[in-house]
Amino acid sequence: MDAFRSLLEPDETERLRLQQAVEQYAQGFIQQLPTLPAFVAQPDMGAGLLEAPIQEEPIAIEEALQLLQKQVDTPGINSASGNHLGYIPGGSLYTSALGDYLAAVTNKYAGIFFSAPGAVRMENMLLRWMAGMIGFPEDTAGNLTSGGSIASLIALATARDAQKITSRMIPDAVVYMTAHAHHCLDKALRIAGLGECPVRHIEMDAAYRMSPQALEKAILADKASGLTPWLVIASAGTTDVGAVDPLQDLAHLAKKHGLWYHVDAAYGGFFALAASGKAKLKGIELADSVVMDPHKGLFIPYGSGAVLIKNAKQLGETHHYQANYMQDTLSSLGEVSPADVSPELSKHFRGLRIWLPLQLHGVKAFRIALEEKLFLAQYAYNKLQYMPGFETPVAPALSVVIFRYKPKAGIEANAFNQNLIHEVQQDGRVFMSSTKLGEAYMLRMAILSFRTHQDTIDTALQVLQEKAAALEEQAAVKASVERY
């Protein structure tokens, strides 16, 4: 029987040997980060992993780590790099990884208060801290989720029930957002059974913010047509350009017309920690629900979202469940069990990956880092304005900088910028991404890694200049050859 018992339980010596190998790999990765490419276009894209299938007999930790390094950690975007300036970067705090390690070793089931009262208290404490940060009341309820998508689903399902939107009403129940609202919101509406709701994409101003005047006009028109306006979704940091909608004005309109007011602050919410960021989020405290992602503005690794909802009673009514086998868990001594306010029953102890860094670094460190990101975005924007050939249609509201290169006459701008971002990505020193504003192909610099500093931005601008000049030279040579 001892032989069976030891198969999955390494002794202390073996545990230390495995841990040492893993820690050596982790330390080596972090030490090399400044020199590692931000993007690697590997032809097989990690397919070599398939050559080492899961099998009956074990392999050595060294072999496993070699596969990890070559097939998983090398190809694609290096999300841990400070040179990752594409999309909205996720964090990779080492102290957060330690929290995950401890959460996995102790394996606390954090879904029910009865099972892990300390873990649930920790997660609820973090949610109350977040609520206080954005001016929500102390009795706000919420959930630590895997990300903004599940957080949005929780919020919109709760809003549906609070507004008493039944299945018969759905074709006439109108939702309002801009065309720049994150696609996870459309997905959440569909999953919540609201896919047939009419969705009005409200006009935006020159800074790509929702127009309050256009919103009220649309609400009044829908009411006059016998429809039921019920939900306004504002953005506090859009993915495309980082815009913050006029949160206060939209809140007043939602209240005036009896609509649920949801703010998607998955990207921008934690800028409330920074003095200059908090001013830009004025009005977020008036929302009925807010989504904000620790794996963005708190630099926590991917898999860390949060939803905050003022109507705690409705949140519980929408997501609660009962089962005979759970009868021992009903008493929670005033603490909300995460399983009662979320689609999830089984869940990872996510709170430890957030709580440990906050305790070990202190909030001040996060506040300073966020102020730096806001400064760097303005720095990049100012530099781009004086770089020949580049144009910046809108100043950054937070830490996303949108721009494009305007090539010489005779060169199609969209194709040129598409080639430019391809060349930047293939170069690998930095990673940036693209989007479209109307018909214009635009480039994006999203600055949110705690490892991104001014020298990173200088490198990014240098790469842009080099690649743009090389592409224009190629175009000139091609045009010359075609003429002759």
Please give the Cα distance from 79 to 450 (Å, whole number): 12
Domain locations in the chain? 101-362, 364-483
> What is the average pLDDT across 6-24?
94
CB atoms within 10 A of CB 385: 12
* Average confidence (pLDDT) over 73-100: 95
Do 243 and 208 touch, CB atoms closer than 8 A? yes
Confidence of residue 43 (pLDDT cuts 50, 70, 90): confident
Q: Out of 25-29, 311-315, 406-410, 478-482, pick the least confident.
A: 478-482
391 pLDDT more than 90:
yes
Sign of CA dihedral 123, 129, 134, 136: positive
Q: Taking the chain, what is the end-to-end CA distance rounded to the nearest angstrom?
A: 85
Question: Which helix (H) or strand (E) element contains residue 308?
Answer: strand 305-309
- pLDDT of 333 reads 58
pLDDT in tens, 150-181: 999 999 999 999 999 999 999 999 999 999 99
Tell which residue, 351, 333, 322, 345, has the closest CA to residue 113: 333
Is the pLDDT assigned to residue 51 strictly greater than 80? Answer: yes
Res 327: pLDDT: 46
pLDDT at 271 over 70: yes
pLDDT of residue 267: 98
CATH code of 364-483, in short, is 3.90.1150.10
pTM: 0.95
pLDDT value of position 477: 75
> What pLDDT, in 10s, does the model give residues 94-130?
999 999 999 999 999 999 999 999 999 999 999 999 9
Q: Tell me what pLDDT residue 410 has.
A: 83
**Quick check: 421 and 415 in contact, CB under 8 A?**
no
- Flag whether pLDDT at 332 surpasses 60: no
Q: Which pair of tokens denotes residue 205?
A: 């101003």
Contact predicate 400/445, CB 8 Å: yes
For the record, the structure tokens of 137 come out as 């009341």
325 has pLDDT over 60: no
Element (H, E) at 352: helix 351-361
Q: Which of 52-61, 279-288, 371-380 has the lowest mean pLDDT?
A: 52-61
pLDDT of 54 higher than 90: yes
**Mean pLDDT of the 421-428 span:** 97
Provide the strand spans (E) within 192-304.
199-201, 228-235, 260-264, 289-292
In this prediction, residue 33 carries a pLDDT of 95
How much is the mean pLDDT over the chain? 94
- CATH class of the domain defined by 101-362: alpha beta
**For residue range 203-234, what is the model confidence (pLDDT) as tens digits?**
999 999 999 999 999 999 999 999 999 999 99
Q: Is the pLDDT of residue 330 over 50?
A: no
| Structure-model confidence comparison of residues 410 and 334, the more confident one | 410
More confident call, 203 vs 90: 203
**Burial grade of 305 (CB within 10 A; 0-12, 13-18, 19 or more):** buried
Give yes or no for residue 3 having a pLDDT over 80. no
Confidence of residue 321 (pLDDT cuts 50, 70, 90): confident
Q: Name the one residue in this structure whose structure tokens are 């495995």.
A: 18
Residue 356 has pLDDT above 80, yes or no: yes
Q: What is the C-alpha to C-alpha distance for residues 247 and 263, in angstroms, rounded to an integer? A: 8
pLDDT tens, residue by residue, 404-420: 999 988 889 999 999 99
Q: Mean per-residue pLDDT for 358-368?
A: 98
Q: DSSP label at 89?
A: P
288 close to 310: Cβ distance less than 8 angstroms? yes
Give the separation between CA 282 and CA 265, rounded to whole angstroms. 12
Given a cut of 60, whether residue 24 has pLDDT beyond it is yes
